[in-house]
Amino acid sequence: MKVLSTDIPDVKVFEPTVHGDHRGYFLETWRQDTFREAGGQQQFVQDNQSSSGQGVLRGLHYQIQQPQGKLVRVISGRVFDVVVDLRRSSPTFSRWVGTELSAENHRLFWVPPGFGHGFYVLSDEAEFVYKCTDYYAPEHERVIRFDDPTIGIKWPLRQGVETVMSEKDLGGRSLAESELFD
């Protein structure tokens, strides 16, 4: 498994080695030793899976208490996945990194605790799975607007495809109004 660096040092992309032949393929989706060597010291306590249709945009989500680290991947379809550094004391505060995750590229994206996370579905449908370092705590969940101009995410929104969002995500706050990490 290759570990790829991003413009934010704490955020990593894991690219598994895929072994394929006439029967199909095999790959390791998770190795604790590789994760630790890349700087990940957290333990995972919860796995989640979601399914979304084309044009669905989820995020930017985070938990102000019980912050979750997430190791995310797509098992069906394609998404544009984004993380934003929400740690005020970080040299990369308010910067974002995005990457395409797909069933074809098998990549995993590490979203450290203290980061906001969101994704946009590029394919007709996408199934998304993630390992979390803490339990979901809805009372601590916060949402920052996906289109906050201070952050300036360049979402690859598709022409002619309606962007579909939840009421919660539509009601997200600006970065300036949001409760953030020190």
Per-residue pLDDT for 117 more than 90?
A: yes
- Determine the pLDDT at residue 36: 86
Whether 135 is catalytic is: no
Q: How far apart are CA 57 and CA 157, in angstroms?
A: 9
Catalytic residue (choose from 62, 106, 117, 130) = 130
Q: What residue has token string 């949402």?
A: 143
Question: What are the helix (H) ranges across 9-130?
Answer: 32-37
Whether 61 is catalytic is: yes
Q: Which tens digits make up the pLDDT trace of 96-105?
A: 999 999 999 9
Domain boundaries, the chain: 2-170
Catalytic residue (choose from 22, 25, 61, 120) = 61
Please tell me which residue, 29 or 101, carries the higher pLDDT value: 101
The helix (H) or strand (E) run that includes residue 98 is strand 96-102
The superfamily in CATH containing domain 2-170 is Jelly Rolls (2.60.120.10)
pLDDT band, very low/low/confident/very high, at 130 (cuts 50, 70, 90): very high
- Determine the pLDDT at residue 40: 84
